[in-house]
Structure 1
């Protein structure tokens, strides 16, 4: 059942076995997993079915450096389905090495292993509609699948890893009907969690306070509470809940909001492959189960250990869009039309340089000089992206020169100084807004550089081509767009030591018996991977844990 929070009588106390705060990928996945087992589940969602400016404004806040991080109300959607309304669908699991405590990645190490999460990945893959849980080329395409680059074989560099793409699935559209029909799940829209209130001893949750923008206020009492509101909002809810825990729930050791990570990313260097263009498979391939897939470059795990570098992948990419020297009509068309694109994508079409009329005229000349390419691209985009149910993931142009940049996506070292804090400003509900102070370190840049050096060495050794990049401008290339992609990670990190973490291996807040966190906030490290698939897998794992707790109480 789905209802409006405004329909609840003011001052009411609702009761449920499980209360989930947030109906994004994590919250909806948990609700779907818990239904049908005799439990009552209540999901509190701030937004409605559509975007609403006043609701979205609740995400407003500050950033310490606007060049390094987008405003807090960007990349996040406060609505039913959460940010799955805007995600690109890129999916891949974390690697086993990501869960390890690596001495060369400070503050790394999860209290669980890859094997603990692995059983939940296949179901997560189905929920996000990315097909089978197969993430190497041979299992996805068969043993005769052509390589990424014909003739390239390296004991140090993997080229058989793939990423899969969701439709991309908007969880609100895909799962709304299932939740409407579920007799044991109630979703309340327009219902904002304004605080978690603990019992006097601080060991259990007494109630969850809820408010609507219209001024209605009520509360929820439940056996277990889960905060599944996204990496930034999780920190805010824990920090504002300070009536019993003076520093905020789970924050006795000042860890809530700290270790905030995204990813280190950017387009770097030039890879020139020898021979015909048919030698390279740089675009999207369709798997036998109908999923768009793409190959990636990465170091093997033994090589990462040997070099002492953080995890990183790279995709073959076209030249920098902002530079008209590429002489490509499609890229220039995208640059000229960037004001018509969504914030998330238009941001990557800025390079920070002054762009006068001469620069724009060169782009316009590219468009005029290549009308066939432009028309072909627009036609493809309309039928394969705009009108398609399973959308073509992104722009991939025909390979005509065997010259590529590398699209780098790297793990960020967790830094305690990188953090989310509260400000003195308040939103329409009276809740303090946040300030985001995202930071990176030289180790992040050096890890990418040393990985790229191996790529260059192995391309030259194999004779397939050359890769060159400017080491002096690498940091600028990797921070050109700041914190990448709205991947809000690590603000309520998982760990076995209460002095350095917020939740335990079961995602339970340290010291509170019945309060849990779902989502990327609990990740101790960021991996090379986009977080959504692992967010859903961990949400399913947590749902099974809560189901076991409930069954144990029932006897």
Structure 2
């Protein structure tokens, strides 16, 4: 069922069993888990079914610290959310990503990789991925031309990625959600405030507003906030009538530990002879699976580095490509043109005989840093909510890790006489912790309502429930305690399905 919140009577009271705020990958995945159940689900979307500039304006904000993308373009504000410009990259987290690592401050989750294992295959279905297989040998069995570089797997291994179509949740799941008798989708219903009971131990209702001047109240027994990492934190911080620092923020953790993936060109690989390196090749909307070079847990521990992967692009193509940080603009149409031009350049530059030189491009997890954070600005949006301010701050560990990754890769390729690795200039001085102008992120927002068993160290518990509030849950990558190397979408969908299962058990037991 679909209701446009602009067209119902002002100050309406909307009631249900479960209220989900946000209809991106997390919000829709949560709603799908309650299809055909006895529970009335209220799914709130701030925008409509298509991109609208005035809705995007609600996501405007300021950035400080490390150079970053315009906030209003980094997330899409309509049904389907940011899956509208998702590239479809998917891979699982590694076991080490969940562990406490003594060289990574604030690392460690209250769950393990094994806790997510049952949910990854279910997430595959939502994302239209292939078989739940991330073993390089499986894919090589499908195509003998997927030959590996000659690395020692105990040091450098091939981490496999699968690629979604990419699935646009707003297109694929629109009819399913709208036709579901127990799911009530309200569009143009922006949540502007969360209200708890007198001692703030449970949420009683949320307030929704829209640009048509309407305001409504939504009441439910369970609330799931699935807006995205920046907006999740913004909403908790702005809901400060009862708790001056914001809901769930007794220990000043909401908004802190904002993490991105550093996505940055880092080195060159020069091979002894040309090679197409088909195993490592990616072509937009064609490639089903490929490998990136990854560092084993053993070597991460030995060199005390963060987790990261290296992808390979022919150097004569890569050297003419602008940095991603310069391609992503506040003009969504122009951004699409920039990436279409990049994709065409990749196709035009391909050589059947292969290439001898490749650019090594790194996707590196960011160390959890409490100074990297989301706060509220004094300026408010058109609905009266303080705008978000993002301070993105890196640490010396990121640059140390980049050097470590290519030291290991360089040593391993050198041992085989298969080639050599050449570091880019900005990585050569081990005492230099500055970052070049072309440093960028992957548009992967994580960590602002981080998971921790100890309420003083995080915002949500192992079930994504806000500490101290019985019926308030956060969904999505904002719950990540560390970022890992892969893009966050596959894992956030798996984590959301796990959250939905937890709520099913909880409401059934009542």
Does the TM-score normalized on the shorter chain lie above 0.5?
A: yes
Q: Shift of residue 400 of structure 1?
A: 3.8
Which residue pairs with 2:55 in the alignment?
55
Which residue pairs with 1:133 in the alignment?
132
Cα separation, 2, equivalents of 1:211 and 1:278: 54
Is the aligned partner of 1:117 residue 2:74?
no
Q: Shift of residue 8 of structure 1?
A: 2.6
Which residue pairs with 1:415 in the alignment?
369
Q: Shift of residue 305 of structure 1?
A: 1.6
1:414-443 Cα distance to aligned partner (Å, 9 max, x none): 100001000110010011001110010111
Cα separation, 2, equivalents of 1:218 and 1:129: 36
Which residue pairs with 2:4 in the alignment?
4
Change (3 A) 1:480 1:87: farther
Q: Secondary structure at the match of 1:526?
A: coil
Change (3 A) 1:57 1:109: same
Which residue pairs with 1:268 in the alignment?
266
Q: Shift of residue 482 of structure 1?
A: 4.2
Which residue pairs with 2:77 in the alignment?
78
Cα separation, 2, equivalents of 1:347 and 1:442: 32
Cα separation, 1, equivalents of 2:359 and 2:496: 36
Q: Shift of residue 277 of structure 1?
A: 2.3
Which residue pairs with 2:481 in the alignment?
524
Cα separation, 2, equivalents of 1:98 and 1:410: 12
Q: Shift of residue 231 of structure 1?
A: 0.4
Listed as ranges, the gaps of 5+ residues in structure 2 are none
Which residue pairs with 2:207 in the alignment?
209
Q: Secondary structure at the match of 1:104?
A: coil
Q: Shift of residue 145 of structure 1?
A: 4.1
Superposed, 1:166-205 pairs within 5 Å as: 166-205=164-203
The equivalent position to 2:288 in structure 1, one of 289, 292, 297, is 292
Cα separation, 1, equivalents of 2:258 and 2:92: 20
Which residue pairs with 2:31 in the alignment?
31
Change (3 A) 1:196 1:305: same
Is the aligned partner of 1:504 residue 2:461?
yes
Cα separation, 2, equivalents of 1:7 and 1:550: 32
Q: Shift of residue 130 of structure 1?
A: 1.5
Task: Single out whichever of 128-137 and 25-34 deviates more from structure 2.
Answer: 128-137
Larger helix fraction of residues: 1
Is the aligned partner of 1:304 residue 2:300?
yes
Cα separation, 2, equivalents of 1:96 and 1:61: 35
Which residue pairs with 1:16 in the alignment?
16
User: Contact conserved, 2:28 with 2:80, CA < 8 A, in 1?
Assistant: yes
Q: Secondary structure at the match of 2:118?
A: helix
User: Contact conserved, 2:314 with 2:355, CA < 8 A, in 1?
Assistant: no
Change (3 A) 1:144 1:192: closer
Cα separation, 1, equivalents of 2:279 and 2:305: 27
Cα separation, 2, equivalents of 1:444 and 1:345: 29
The equivalent position to 2:381 in structure 1, one of 427, 431, 438, is 427
Q: Secondary structure at the match of 1:232?
A: helix
Q: Shift of residue 3 of structure 1?
A: 1.7
User: Contact conserved, 1:126 with 1:132, CA < 8 A, in 2?
Assistant: no
Change (3 A) 1:178 1:154: closer
Change (3 A) 1:479 1:118: farther
User: Contact conserved, 2:258 with 2:445, CA < 8 A, in 1?
Assistant: yes
User: Contact conserved, 1:438 with 1:483, CA < 8 A, in 2?
Assistant: no
Q: Shift of residue 246 of structure 1?
A: 1.3
Q: Shift of residue 124 of structure 1?
A: 0.5
Cα separation, 2, equivalents of 1:396 and 1:172: 33
Q: Shift of residue 142 of structure 1?
A: 2.3
Aligned residues: 504
Cα separation, 2, equivalents of 1:478 and 1:139: 39
Change (3 A) 1:396 1:191: farther
Which residue pairs with 2:471 in the alignment?
514
Larger Rg: 1
Q: Secondary structure at the match of 1:490?
A: coil
Cα separation, 1, equivalents of 2:60 and 2:310: 33
Which residue pairs with 2:504 in the alignment?
547
Over the aligned positions, Cα root-mean-square deviation in angstroms equals 3.0
Is the aligned partner of 1:485 residue 2:481?
no
User: Contact conserved, 2:270 with 2:419, CA < 8 A, in 1?
Assistant: yes
Cα separation, 2, equivalents of 1:59 and 1:191: 15
Q: Shift of residue 473 of structure 1?
A: 4.3
Q: Shift of residue 270 of structure 1?
A: 1.4
Cα separation, 2, equivalents of 1:413 and 1:78: 28
Change (3 A) 1:254 1:347: farther
Cα separation, 1, equivalents of 2:317 and 2:391: 29
Cα separation, 2, equivalents of 1:320 and 1:64: 34
User: Contact conserved, 1:265 with 1:478, CA < 8 A, in 2?
Assistant: no
User: Contact conserved, 2:151 with 2:157, CA < 8 A, in 1?
Assistant: no
What's the TM-score once normalised by structure 1's chain length? 0.85
Q: Secondary structure at the match of 2:74?
A: coil
What's the TM-score once normalised by structure 2's chain length? 0.92
Q: Shift of residue 136 of structure 1?
A: 2.1
1:165-208 Cα distance to aligned partner (Å, 9 max, x none): 11111101000011111110011011000011011111011211
Which residue pairs with 1:390 in the alignment?
none
Change (3 A) 1:274 1:281: farther
